[in-house]
Structure 1
Amino acid sequence: MKEFNRKLVFEDGNEYLGYSFGDTCDKVCEIVFNTSMVGYQEILSDPSYTYQAVVMTYPLIGNYGMTEEDYETKHPTLGAFIVGEYNDTPSNFRSTATLGKIMEQYCIPGIYGVDTRKLTRYIRDFGSRKVLITDISTSKEDGMKILEKVDIPTDAVSKVSPKESYHANTRNPKFHIAAIDCGMKQNIVRSLNQRKCAVTVVPYNTTAEYIRKLGPDGVFISNGPGDPKDVPEVIKTIRELHGEYPTFGICLGHQIICLSYGAECYKLKFGHRGGNHPVKNMQTGKIEITSQNHSYAVDSDSLKHTPLEVTHINLLDNTVEGVACEKDKVFSVQYHPESAPGPEDSGYLFDRFIKMMQEVKENA
């Protein structure tokens, strides 16, 4: 058995030993876990994981390699990957590179050989927290000192949002969407394009005035990393646009919509991340199996003082998973209907957005 060459160090002195893959840099991240059985490429390239070290509970990672078509962003910003078993010889005709090679390219460290079951239970018991991924030679004491000095940055959205607007067009579009990119997964754009929507993607700090000049049929607010209160610019923009356009928000976009109406958000102990979360649609009674990735949730009591109605509930912990304001033609969900990876139960939400814009056009 070869000797361990990497380790994780926590603020309380806990250490987990393993082997290196990907980049070999030291990094301080917020540690979280994801229960998805597939989709490590989409997780690696999801901007919502900026500054986070992701523990994959599925034991074998890397076995089908990486392919050009499946990235959710061109420049992955994941903090680190922690896996049980890493496979560096993938078997897949679509594969063009190994996971480890791509992680080297984007300076993302990885560690394998860790007891991920034990580590996940540790996160569930004590919550998401700072972790240092480092060389085995770093002493526990030095690692704890580094963790004490280094804070997780709060500029994640500004880091991953585009600096300028761009267009994602489709043939013979029927609608034009202004999409506020707070760290948007590309499958959201693809989902809108497939429904004959031309999309103008704008930076997170775009003003309401600029969006009005675009003359969109609808406004979309994307997913993204971090605390929604760290992006007051987006909250202000959405507040100023209330009632002007059909509006749809996903994940961080859901939280931003709720904050714009005066609701409050709070941080979950260890968040929701995976492709198997059951959500109940309160309007139809149906249960959807959903893809999720978020640390924050909307306070249900704070919604009572807003015009927003709760439309979806998480059946694992009763957290708010969706809201709507019929008068303003606004709705949002905490989960990811575009999946990638995950189940496809919730694609109807994009159709709901289309229908809403169509009704506005017909009544204009």
Structure 2
Amino acid sequence: MNKKKEALLLLEDGTAYRGIALGIDGTTGGEICFNTGMTGYQEIYTDPSYYGQIIVNTTSHIGNYGVQLEDEEESASVKIKGMVCNTFSTIYSRTTADFSLQQYFERAKIVGISDVDTRHIVRHVRQKGVMNAIISSQILDEKELMAELHKIPSMDGLELSSEVTTNEAYYVGNEGSSSWRVAVMDYGIKKSILNNLTSRGCYCKVFPAKTPFEEVMKWQPDGFFISNGPGDPAAMTYAVDNVTQMVNTGKPLFGICLGHQLLALSSGINTYKMHHGHRGLNHPVKNMLTGLCEITSQNHGFAVNPDEIESHPDVEITHVNLNDKTIEGIRRKDYPAFSVQYHPEASPGPHDSRYLFDDFTKLLSAI
């Protein structure tokens, strides 16, 4: 592809940005959102929670350290729909890199745009709210491209976990040397989460998203893990039913991100779509149980209703976002079940919250 070919980014409200095409020549659309992390772009692109979304990287230079396949993939493929950045580097300095980010996007058939004012885009999304967008290096007429944009479904009410989940159940860890059997519901699981579980003595069986509760229980797990993932949690009634039954077993349950929202829904607490969501590596969260602050990695566009939690007799708030007071963690008072909205595995960082995996294994030890 001609690296200097023009590309057009068009937002749902008609705002347009013209820049330079990256990745492959094509057209792609999805919900536009921004990530403020200054490193870890490869982990972002392979995170299944970003499925269906166009990512705006706010860091000025993207691609400068290339791509390293062995250590930095969170799933088996790139999950984003498109990428937007200011300066895109087709060369890289890291000697251990396998190839450039441009080559990586070409292999994954990703369409993107660079040389646009990402600060302006972020300010616009923060003010107007999250919306759908489309990128094209094929259609440069705004009216024609808007017609294509209108075909993209809204994330609100969209079920996407079944698009990214495993097709068959599989095992992770060493059965012979592990202390506990943990059933992992894959709604878009990240490899780093599984690594954190297995490194603490968990032998995991990872189940497809729509596996019936009865089939999960045939494996006789000691506890349950409810994963992160994309889409609207309120559209996942099959998952809410499963989580409800898992909680009622009295066995330990831990949920992250989408798993947090599903635990809330299973407890009768509603979720809502946020104005522009939280995505980045520097979100401050207060642990209400210890009084300590954690700097956290986040990626979510939905949240749980705080008023419904505060009035719930069996659920308490454990973590709160210090920027906007949204709920970042809950736990059940009547069952050994808890969850957090952010990502304690924090790949690529920071690692302030990895103690939550230890909290889960302590619950497993108590059974």
Q: Same fold (TM over 0.5)?
A: yes
1:233-287 deviations in Å (ceiling 9; x for gaps): 1110011122321000000000000000100000111100000000000000000
SS of the aligned residue for 1:214 comes to coil
State how far apart, in whole Å, the 2-side matches of 1:149 and 1:251 are: 28
- Asked if 2 retains the 8 angstrom alpha-carbon contact of 1:309 and 1:325, the reply is yes
TM superposition score normalised by structure 2: 0.95
- Asked if 2 retains the 8 angstrom alpha-carbon contact of 1:165 and 1:200, the reply is yes
**Counterpart check, 1:98 vs 2:100:** yes
**Counterpart check, 1:206 vs 2:211:** yes
- Asked if 2 retains the 8 angstrom alpha-carbon contact of 1:262 and 1:306, the reply is no
**Which of 119, 133, 136 is the aligned partner of 1:134?**
136
**Counterpart check, 1:308 vs 2:312:** no
- Shift of residue 3 of structure 1? 6.5
SS of the aligned residue for 1:146 comes to helix
- Asked if 1 retains the 8 angstrom alpha-carbon contact of 2:5 and 2:137, the reply is no
**Counterpart check, 1:231 vs 2:236:** yes
**Counterpart check, 1:158 vs 2:159:** no
Show the counterpart of 1:278.
284
The number of aligned residues is: 359
Amino acid at match of 1:216: P
Structure 2 segments unaligned to the other structure (5+ residues): none
State how far apart, in whole Å, the 2-side matches of 1:108 and 1:139 are: 21
SS of the aligned residue for 2:295 comes to strand
**Counterpart check, 1:168 vs 2:172:** yes
- Shift of residue 106 of structure 1? 1.6
Using the TM superposition, name which of 298-307 and 87-96 deviates more: 298-307
State how far apart, in whole Å, the 2-side matches of 1:17 and 1:306 are: 53
1:316-338 deviations in Å (ceiling 9; x for gaps): 00000000014210000000000
Amino acid at match of 2:205: T
SS of the aligned residue for 1:55 comes to strand
**Which of 324, 340, 365 is the aligned partner of 1:358?**
365
**Counterpart check, 1:261 vs 2:267:** yes
State how far apart, in whole Å, the 1-side matches of 2:139 and 2:132 are: 20
State how far apart, in whole Å, the 1-side matches of 2:48 and 2:4 are: 33
1:145-197 deviations in Å (ceiling 9; x for gaps): 22223324734211100111000123611111100010011000001111111
Amino acid at match of 1:167: Y
**1:163-202 map, 5 Å:** 163-170=167-174, 172-202=177-207
CA RMSD, aligned part only? Answer: 1.4
Identical positions, percent: 40
Amino acid at match of 2:172: A
Amino acid at match of 1:44: Y
Show the counterpart of 1:43.
44
Amino acid at match of 2:218: K
SS of the aligned residue for 1:349 comes to helix
**Counterpart check, 1:293 vs 2:272:** no
- Shift of residue 20 of structure 1? 1.1
- Asked if 2 retains the 8 angstrom alpha-carbon contact of 1:57 and 1:83, the reply is yes
- Shift of residue 137 of structure 1? 4.8
State how far apart, in whole Å, the 2-side matches of 1:53 and 1:209 are: 37
SS of the aligned residue for 1:149 comes to coil
State how far apart, in whole Å, the 1-side matches of 2:320 and 2:49 are: 22
- Asked if 1 retains the 8 angstrom alpha-carbon contact of 2:25 and 2:138, the reply is no
Structure 1 segments unaligned to the other structure (5+ residues): none
- 1:306–1:295 distance in 2 versus 1, CA, 3 Å: farther
